[in-house]
Amino acid sequence: MGPVPSYLRGYEDLYRENPRAAALTWFAAARYGLFLHFGLYSLLGRHEWVQFRERIPVAEYAKLMNRFRAERFDAEYIVSFAADCGMRYVNITTRHHDSFCLFETAETPLHVGNSPAGRDLVGELAAACARHGIGLFLYYSHGRDWRHPHAPNNDAWGGSARPAYDPPEPSYATGTEHDLDRYLAFMDRQVTELLTRYGPVAGIWLDGIAVPQSGDAARFRCQELYDRIHALQPQVLVSYKQGLLGTEDFVTPEHRPLSSLNKPGEICTTMIPSARHRSEVGVSWGHLAAARGKHKTANEVWETLGAARRNGYNLLLNTAPLPDGAIDPEDDAVLREVGARLRREGFPEGGGTAPTR
């Protein structure tokens, strides 16, 4: 077994005995994490589902990569910012539903290394997290992909897995030509890249659960994926939103707790919008230009953090970097204010504690 990951300092003895038990114990104590949704959709500022909602053709959407510079994406700043805000881990969208990757990959040309940015943003964030002892979670879109020819398609998965292109998207495999196994192999290779290139990872955070839930979930062979993840890095925690198989290490429902919590969990929610602007601008995880001045306030964040703790959950709070990769200054100021309050008062526990296994 290699050295203890920097984010697990203080858990050395348990790590040497049982790496995943050490990670679960650390996770229960971590309480608060930073989520980052950043990608090609950020350039448009119209929600991370802009390709789906506006039915932007695959080839046209891919041209956004030629404008992706991320010139103000500063991993050192992001990690220092998270720590200053009282957060113990960071989660970044390595690959969202549009299939653009913030890491260099051999599996698709649609990745940050082929953009004008020419940098591996996941690699930079991993190095910064290691330096600061912050846990790194890697968001990965599993159930949805709007580019891969063999990803789950409309006919097989309830009509919502892909944009409803009219005329049909010519690059998509359909009918007998469609082979889900090719997509599963693609994902397996990418997850392997993520777990073999960047040092110790705290968690793999899978998204797109509605797609396997709407069809034959067994076809996605998720337990095989979980087992491979744990074989590559035994301390890695696996989540698939509110839980697909029940064998995930923790659950992460959106915005509100589950009716019961029988394993570690975090509530994931986003800074966009504040409660009084929700009906006006809607919820967005990616940069939304129309929400400027309408993000959560410090009091709302404090109340959200308290609600999570009262129900025994961590809080994973999302901020949407600007098109150039900078942390939105509106969120920067608010989250630093919350961090200062945490240093003065401690966490608003409210009596809830997250279970461990």
User: In which residue are the tokens 């350039």 written?
Assistant: 43
SS3 of 33-85: the string is EEEECCCCHHHHCECCCHHHHCCCCHHHHHHHHHHCCCCCCCHHHHHHHHHHC
Which amino acid is present at 356? Answer: T
Show the tokens assigned to 34: 């930073």
What's the token pair of residue 84?
């200053």
The answer to whether position 351 is within a domain reads no
Domain extent, residue 16, equals 6-345
Residue 194 lies in a domain: yes
**Both structure tokens of 173:** 């495999």
The number of residues in the chain equals 357
Instruction: Say whether pTM exceeds 0.75.
Output: yes
Give percent above pLDDT 90 in the chain: 92
Query: For the chain, which residues score pLDDT lower than 70?
Result: 1, 350-357
On whether residue 357 sits in a domain, the answer given is no
CA distance 264 to 43: 35
Task: Read off the CATH number of the domain in which 187 is found.
Answer: 3.20.20.80
- Specify the number of domains making up the chain: 1
User: What is the spatial distance between Cα 239 and Cα 243, in angstroms, rounded to a whole number?
Assistant: 7
Residue 355 lies in a domain: no
Domain membership of residue 1 (yes or no) is no
Q: Distance between CA atoms of 76 and 143, rounded to whole angstroms?
A: 31
Q: Say if residue 167 is preceded by a cis peptide, omega within 30 of 0.
A: yes
Is 180 part of any domain?
yes
CA dihedral 124, 126, 127, 129 (to 10 degrees): 120
Question: What is the reported pLDDT for 160?
Answer: 81
CA distance linking residue 289 with residue 42, whole number of Å: 9
307 part of a folded domain = yes
| Residue 350 is assigned to a structural domain of this protein | no
Given a contact cutoff of 8 angstroms between Cβ atoms, the answer to whether 259 and 282 are in contact is: no
CA pair distance 239, 247, nearest whole angstrom: 9
Q: What is the per-residue pLDDT for 79? A: 98
